[in-house]
C-alpha cells in the first residue's frame, strides 16, 4: 500500500513538472520545395515579430526546434519556410509536430496543441478566401471584359468578401476565450483598415478581452486589447459629436491642459492641421503657415493644429521653439489618436480647410494653393 502511494506520488510530481515545464520542442518534415532553412519568430503584443531561431532541414526534410523559458500562457509565433509563414500558439511544455508537403502555407498540419490546431482552422480558411479575392480582382483588371462580365465579377468579389468577414466574426465570437481569437481580430483583407466597420469593432475586442481575462489573466495580449478598446470607444465618442455644420468635432487638450473644441471656431475659416513635431519638414511647413496666419488671421482665419505625438515634452518644446501662434492641441496617443481615424488621416502632414458655413471645402493644401483658397473664402 505504501509502495503504491509512493509510486503515485512520483507520477503526480512528474506530471506536475511536465505541466510546468518551460521547454518547447517543435519538429516535423517539410518537403516539396528547395528551401533549406526554417525560421521561428514570436509575435509580440504590439504585433512585431522578432526572430527567435532558425534551423536547417536535413536531407529528408526533417527539422527540430528547442525553445527554453517559454511562458505557460499561450503566445503567438510564426513558422516560416520557403517565403511563407504560418501562425502557431505555443506554451511551455508543448511538443508540436508541424509537417507540410508542397505549399507550406496551404498544406501544413499541426499536432500536439489544441490552440494551434484551432488557429490553423481559421488561418487556412482565411488565406484561401484572400486568394480568391485576389483572383477575382485580377480577372476584373484584365482588358477586354464586357460590362456584363465586370458586373458578375464585382458581385462575386462582394459575395466572397462578405462570406470571409462573416466567417471571421463568427470564429472570433465562437472562440472568444482562445488566443486564436486575438490573431483573428488582427487579420485584415486587402484595403481594410477596420475589422468590421470601425466604430462597431469595440464589441468584438471587448468580447475577447473579457473571455481571456477569465481564462488567461496573465496573457500579454490583454493590455493591447484594452488599449484598442479605449481607442475605439474614444472614436465612437468623437463620431457622436459631429456638428450640424457637417464636420466631425474634436475636443483635445492644449499644452496647458485646457480642452479646446474645434466647433468653438465656427464662423471662421478654419484649417485643421495634422502634423508631427518629429517630422523633419515640420519647421518649414509651420514657417510658411505662420506667414499666412499673420496675413489672414484678422480677416477670420484660424488654425486648429493637432500634433501626432506621444511625448509631451517633445510637443511642447517644438511649439515653443517655433513660436506657433495658433491653437495647438495633442492627445498624446500618437498614431493611435482617434482624431486620425475620424478624419481618415493616412499620412502626415495632412490638413482640412473648413469654410465659414462649417463645410469642408478642401484638403492637403499648402503654400500658394492654401493662400489662393483663403483669398476666395475670406
d(CA 318, CA 30): 54
Asked if 306 and 330 count as a contact pair (C-beta separation under 8 A), the reply is yes
Buried b (16+ CB within 10 A) or exposed e, 125-148: ebbebbebbeebeeeeeeeeeeee
What top-level class would CATH report for the domain 251-377? alpha beta
* Residue-level pLDDT at 171: 94
Longest dimension (CA), the chain: 99
In 3D space, the residue among 208, 210, 220 whose CA is nearest the CA of residue 42 turns out to be 220
Domain range summary for the chain, segments of one domain joined by +: 17-112, 124-239, 251-377
Asked if the domains at 17-112 and 251-377 fall in one CATH topology, the answer is no
* Residue-level pLDDT at 327: 95
pLDDT in single tens digits along all 378 residues of the chain = 444 443 334 333 333 344 456 899 999 999 999 999 999 998 765 556 677 899 999 999 999 999 998 888 888 999 999 999 999 999 999 999 999 999 999 999 999 988 899 999 999 999 999 999 999 989 888 888 888 898 898 889 988 988 999 999 999 999 999 999 999 998 988 777 778 766 678 889 999 999 999 999 988 899 889 888 887 777 666 555 544 446 788 889 998 889 999 989 989 999 999 999 888 777 888 999 999 999 999 999 999 999 999 888 889 999 999 999 999 999 988 888 888 888 888 888 999 999 998 888 888 999 899 999 999 998
- pTM, two decimal places: 0.61
According to DSSP, residue 33 is labeled S
| CATH architecture assigned to 17-112 | Sandwich (2.60)
| Burial zone of 47 (CB within 10 Å; 0-12 exposed, 13-18 middle, 19+ buried) | exposed
Does the N-terminal peptide bond of residue 268 adopt cis geometry, omega within 30 degrees of 0? no
d(CA 266, CA 299): 14
User: Starting at the edge strand that comes first in sequence, how are the strands of the sheet with 95-101 ordered?
Assistant: 62-67, 24-31, 95-101, 109-111
Asked if 189 and 130 count as a contact pair (C-beta separation under 8 A), the reply is yes
* Residue-level pLDDT at 236: 67
Cα 52 to Cα 43, 44, 79, 117, 230, distances in angstroms: 10, 12, 10, 22, 31
d(CA 330, CA 305): 8
Question: Kind of pairing, strands 269-275 and 301-307?
Answer: parallel
Amino acid at each position: 500500500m505504501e509502495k503504491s502511494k509512493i509510486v503515485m506520488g512520483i507520477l503526480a510530481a512528474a506530471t506536475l513538472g511536465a505541466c510546468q515545464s518551460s521547454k518547447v520542442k517543435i519538429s516535423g518534415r517539410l518537403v516539396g520545395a528547395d528551401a533549406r532553412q526554417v525560421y521561428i519568430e514570436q509575435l509580440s503584443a504590439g504585433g512585431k515579430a522578432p526572430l527567435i531561431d532558425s534551423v536547417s532541414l536535413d536531407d529528408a526534410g526533417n527539422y527540430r526546434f528547442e525553445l527554453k523559458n517559454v511562458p505557460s500562457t499561450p503566445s503567438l509565433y510564426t513558422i516560416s519556410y520557403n517565403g511563407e509563414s504560418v501562425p502557431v500558439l505555443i506554451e511551455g511544455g508543448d511538443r508540436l509536430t508541424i509537417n507540410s508537403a508542397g505549399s507550406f502555407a496551404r498544406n501544413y498540419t499541426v499536432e500536439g496543441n489544441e490552440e494551434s490546431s484551432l488557429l490553423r482552422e481559421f488561418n487556412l480558411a482565411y488565406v484561401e478566401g484572400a486568394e480568391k479575392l485576389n483572383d477575382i480582382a485580377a480577372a476584373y483588371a484584365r482588358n477586354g471584359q464586357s460590362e456584363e462580365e465586370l458586373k458578375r465579377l464585382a458581385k462575386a468579389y462582394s459575395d466572397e468578401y462578405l462570406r470571409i468577414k462573416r466567417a471571421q466574426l463568427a470564429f472570433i465570437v465562437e472562440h472568444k476565450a482562445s488566443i486564436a481569437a486575438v490573431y483573428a481580430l488582427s487579420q485584415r483583407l486587402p484595403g481594410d483598415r477596420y475589422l468590421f466597420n470601425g466604430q462597431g469593432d469595440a464589441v468584438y475586442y471587448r468580447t475577447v478581452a473579457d473571455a481571456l481575462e477569465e481564462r488567461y489573466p496573465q496573457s500579454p495580449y490583454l493590455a493591447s486589447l484594452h488599449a484598442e478598446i479605449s481607442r475605439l470607444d474614444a472614436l465612437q465618442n468623437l463620431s457622436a459629436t459631429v456638428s450640424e455644420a457637417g464636420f466631425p468635432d474634436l475636443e483635445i487638450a492644449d499644452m496647458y491642459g485646457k480642452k479646446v473644441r474645434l466647433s468653438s471656431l465656427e464662423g471662421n475659416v478654419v484649417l485643421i492641421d495634422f502634423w508631427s513635431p518629429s517630422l523633419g519638414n515640420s519647421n518649414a511647413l509651420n514657417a510658411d503657415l505662420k506667414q499666412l496666419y499673420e496675413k489672414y488671421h484678422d480677416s477670420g482665419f484660424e488654425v486648429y493644429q493637432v500634433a501626432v505625438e506621444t511625448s509631451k515634452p517633445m510637443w511642447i518644446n517644438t511649439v515653443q521653439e517655433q513660436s506657433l501662434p495658433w491653437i495647438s492641441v495633442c492627445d498624446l496617443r500618437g498614431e493611435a489618436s482617434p482624431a486620425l481615424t475620424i478624419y481618415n488621416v493616412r499620412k502626415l502632414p495632412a490638413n482640412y480647410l473648413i469654410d465659414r458655413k462649417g463645410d469642408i471645402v478642401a484638403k492637403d493644401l499648402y503654400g500658394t494653393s492654401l493662400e489662393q483658397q483663403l483669398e476666395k473664402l475670406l
